[in-house]
Amino acid sequence: MNTKEEIQRRRTFAIISHPDAGKTTMTEKLLYFGGAIRDAGTVKGKKTGKFATSDWMEIEKQRGISVTSSVMQFDYRGNRINILDTPGHQDFSEDTYRTLMAVDSAVMIVDAAKGIEAQTLKLFKVCRMRGIPIFTFINKLDRQGKEPLELMEEIEEVLEIESYAMNWPIGMGKEFLGIYDRYNNRIEQFRTNEDERFLEVDEEGELVADHSMKETSYYKQAMEDIQLLAEAGNDFDEERVRKGELTPVFFGSALTNFGVQTFLETYLDFAPKPQPRATNVGDIVDPTNEEFSGFIFKIQANMNPAHRDRIAFVRIVSGEFTRGMNITLSRTGKSYKVSSSTQFLADDRETVDTAVAGDIIGLYDVGNYQIGDTVVGGKKGFEFEKLPQFTPELFMKVTAKNVMKSKHFHKGILQLVQEGAIQYYKTLHTEDVILGAVGQLQFEVFEHRMKNEYNVEVRMEPIGSKVARWIENEEEVKESMTGPRSMLVRDRFDRYVFLFENDFAMRWFQDKYEHIRLYNLL
């Protein structure tokens, strides 16, 4: 198979949801169908010691949450699928945001009982902003939840996107009988033998056989709903799905593995192939371009604590990667020979010799790479559009409890800051370390990882929420501009940053020093 054919069979997507909607369980079931794992155990089976394959960090296992983005790859029916399992917790929205820049479509998991939740809405807006196709899986139909029509209405009103039900539930909770598969014209039964799993429907859409389900009120209600959808609902339009204007909706239960395989197969019928990307000068790089190019959207330290390694995650945008090739880092113009590269199956990794556009590969990093970097196969350097950085809202002063561990302390901070979840600042003269984050959980993860991965216990002293602003005309800033309500610090790139006590303090500063041009990251 040539490179172009290999690229055509790639499908790269992220799974997004609110915490506890079943995202990691769904990821695990997809891996199960892809033959990537043999045992699809429940995510939070603490007593059995089983954890979802995508939750590898120690703190995730203790809490049963995902706080990092995992990457998994498997083959299914001629397609090579790359799944990026994103953090559900809102404190890690920045990591998720960047991950969404590296995919061609997104799968949104919605809890049938809770509907659209705050974090789902936030992530969804990112997808809409990028115009990427969104597929919706309404989960936990084996429990009692909201009425299906209510959920469809909620998707349209809250997310402001049109929807099309690819299947429809027959009953719910204890009375959940199965789903009416509108796309494949069949009924899929819940909790039944494999040979009785699918039931045929006639041209009118009714059950062919004289089946006991036909007499139930749940079947009759489902048929009425489907009739209503056919008459008053949206038409299915593949082009609008591709533009992110219409979301195909699937119902099922990831925990009981019901409706997942049907979803996967239907998704693959419509999921986009690797898409072109824009550069910072407005050029478009097509995936089938022969020259290798890609961008780094994530850096993770200590994926294997025994080896103290750092991995830079690269989304390949065009061409083919081969191990041993020379790549150029566009930001610096320096070239490197890539002798070590890896692909992922959650916490299992294997050396990869070749990969193509659409794939995610890991490059071993000794500190050369930064999030957002572009790497190319030739000498000609161009850069893809910059990845967004969030402006932190919470700040902590951090010191090592044991001053003798100062070297480990600074090494740990440097490596964890480079992952992008926390941001680093230092005061001008005393060089005290201040960390900024979007959410409190990021500090807890930082403290946990410093202790477990770098053997350094840290003392964290909250300095509260601040309004951080960078300065366009740094040369005009004077230290005398600081006061009790504004602190001047430097970030990890040695740029000046004002930390204002609140919006009022920032406005007061701007009124007093009108010539200073402030800006925030996002």
Q: Which residues are annotated as a binding site for GTP?
A: 17-24, 85-89, 139-142
CB atoms within 10 A of CB 380: 10
In whole angstroms, what is the distance from residue 248 CA to residue 259 CA? 14
What 3 state SS string does 346-415 have?
Answer: CCEEEECCEEECCCEEEEECCCCCCCCCEEECCCCCCCECCCCCCCCCEEEEEEECCHHHHHHHHHHHHH
For residue 463, what are its two tokens? 């300095």
As given in the structure block, the two tokens for residue 502 are: 């609140």
What is the C-alpha separation between 375 and 393, in angstroms, rounded? 31
Binding residues: 17-24, 85-89, 139-142
User: Can you state the percent helix, strand and coil of the chain, rounding each to 5?
Assistant: 30, 30, 40
Two structure tokens written together for 314? 């690269």
Decide: helix, strand or coil at residue 236.
coil
CA distance linking residue 185 with residue 72, whole number of Å? 31
Report residue 133 as tokens. 């196709």
Q: For 480, phi and psi rounded to 5 degrees? A: -65, -10
Tally of CB atoms within 10 A around 2: 9
C-alpha torsion sign, points 357, 359, 363, 369: positive
Backbone angles phi, psi at 35, to 5 degrees: 75, 10
Strand positions, DSSP E, 252-347: 277-278, 284-285, 293-301, 310-318, 320-322, 326-329, 334-337, 341-345
DSSP string, 104-123: SEEEEEEETTTBS-HHHHHH
